[in-house]
Amino acid sequence: MNKKHQDIIDFVRGLYQTTEFIPLHEPKFVGNEKAYVVDCIDSTFVSSVGKYVDRFELEMAKYTGAKYAVATVNGTAALHITLKLAGVNRGDEVITQSLSFVATCNAISYCGAEPVFIDVDRDTLGLSPQSLSEFLSANTTRTAEGCINKTTGRRIAAVVPMHTFGHPCRIDKIAGICEEFGIPLVEDAAESLGSYYQGKHTGTFGKLAAFSFNGNKTITTGGGGMIITDDEVLAKRAKHITTTAKKPHPYEFIHDEIGYNYRLPNINAALGCAQMECLPRILESKRVIASAYADFFATSNITFVKEPAQASANYWLNALVLEDKQARDVFLKELNEAGVMSRPIWRLMNELPMFESCQSDALVNAKWLEDRVVNIPSSARVK
């Protein structure tokens, strides 16, 4: 066992005060979760309509500062619908980052579109405004149909940055570039509930945004997602097509277009409402944990990833940058064997077989980070 790694293991065990297995990120149910779920069961409205769905949507809109929120069955479904509502069609292209969870590209593919991969910034781990601007300036032209990729002849229908591990990317600059080139901005805010950039919550800089409430997220509904937008027309359409496009009627089944069975069940939303009540405590605990990690690694040759300038991150998953791939692999092996869960950052999307033929820039930073970044235990300590 590398002594440095043993010191890290001992520190993490002290932080969480346990000698047992330490997961990467476990949910915390310390409020009204059981009471609300039982109430939902007693009401018999456990499926896709009910008071908890309505309440959860209102609370998410209020918390993020968005005008409207529409709950979905998971974050991928939310992102799929945001892209569809942004106007992404079959044969289009969507610019995103290769350093991302696969759900981002899956949602693009559900629209029949193809991702184009642009590099990230090393400090934010998110889409690089400079790389985006350089790619668009060199490779696109504006026509009556929109922003056209000169290499492929396809329309670039959206730009989708991701706020990696809850650290906001330079979303203000990305929004400005999107406006300059006439491309809708859709934020993948799946990991960033409770994160702010320049005083605004992530997800409120673009046309639409998607959040996730998977079991490992900052708060959870078991599975679940949320669309937010300031556009009333888009919000109403989101609710319509995520509910099988069924027109309101007391008893008739009338559907006016192809829809999706993407609505969040009321019983899941009951969990979400209770979790929202606990969110401030969870975020406070996670910042304390992040601060402890930052102090511990301050004199180390391992870099702790801190929130970017002008940002307040939720520190969903704490991340380290190691010296190289070899150091990363030894770190992962020794910590996991000791029962302290750690994992590498995702494999780059352009390296996966279904996306390896997609266009990309050099991805210099993304490749550098892929070899070095690991996540370490990040669960909140609340009781």
* pLDDT tens-digit profile, the chain (383 residues): 888 999 999 999 999 999 999 999 999 999 999 999 999 999 999 998 899 999 999 999 999 999 999 999 999 999 999 999 999 999 999 999 999 999 999 999 999 999 999 999 999 999 999 999 999 999 999 999 999 999 999 999 999 999 999 999 999 999 999 999 999 999 999 999 999 999 999 999 999 999 999 999 999 999 999 999 999 999 999 999 999 999 989 899 999 999 999 999 999 999 999 999 999 999 999 999 999 999 999 999 999 999 999 999 999 999 999 999 999 999 999 999 999 999 999 999 999 999 999 999 999 999 999 999 999 999 999 98
Residue 3: per-residue pLDDT: 84
Q: How many CA atoms lie within 13 A of 217 on its CB side?
A: 27
Token code pair at residue 77: 């479904």
At position 209, the amino acid (one-letter code) is A
- For 47-111, the DSSP string reads SS-SHHHHHHHHHHHHHHT-SEEEEESSHHHHHHHHHHHHT--TT-EEEEESSS-HHHHHHHHHT
Token code pair at residue 42: 């007693």
Residue 358: per-residue pLDDT: 98
**C-alpha dihedral, 70 to 67 to 175 to 125, nearest 10°:** -50
- φ and ψ of 325, to 5 deg: -65, -40
CA angle 354, 129, 328 (to 5 degrees): 60
- φ and ψ of 114, to 5 deg: -130, 135
- φ and ψ of 80, to 5 deg: -55, -45
CB 307 within 8 A of CB 301: no
Residue 383: per-residue pLDDT: 82
Residue 188: per-residue pLDDT: 98
Burial of 20 (0-12, 13-18, 19+ CB in 10 A): exposed
CA pair distance 115, 94, nearest whole angstrom = 5
Positive or negative: CA dihedral 27, 33, 34, 38: negative
| N-term to C-term CA, the chain | 33
- φ and ψ of 109, to 5 deg: -65, -35
Residue 48: per-residue pLDDT: 83
Q: Name all domains of the chain by residue range, CATH numbers in brackets.
A: 33-276 (3.40.640.10)
Token code pair at residue 127: 């889409």
Burial of 11 (0-12, 13-18, 19+ CB in 10 A): middle
Burial of 368 (0-12, 13-18, 19+ CB in 10 A): middle
Residue 162: per-residue pLDDT: 98
CA pair distance 377, 198, nearest whole angstrom = 28
In Å, the largest CA–CA distance within the chain is 69
Residue 109: per-residue pLDDT: 98
Output the pTM of the full model: 0.96
Q: How many CA atoms lie within 13 A of 83 on its CB side?
A: 34
Residue in 205, 124, 228, 220 with CA at minimum distance from that of residue 159: 205
> Tokens 């309440």, residue?
55
CB 227 within 8 A of CB 70: yes
Instruction: List, in sequence order, the alpha helices (H) in 242-311.
Output: 266-297
- For 149-202, the DSSP string reads ETTT--BEEEEE-B-GGG----HHHHHHHHHHHT--BEEE-TT-TT-EETTEET
Residue in 39, 118, 82 with CA at minimum distance from that of residue 365: 118
How does DSSP classify residue 345?
A: P
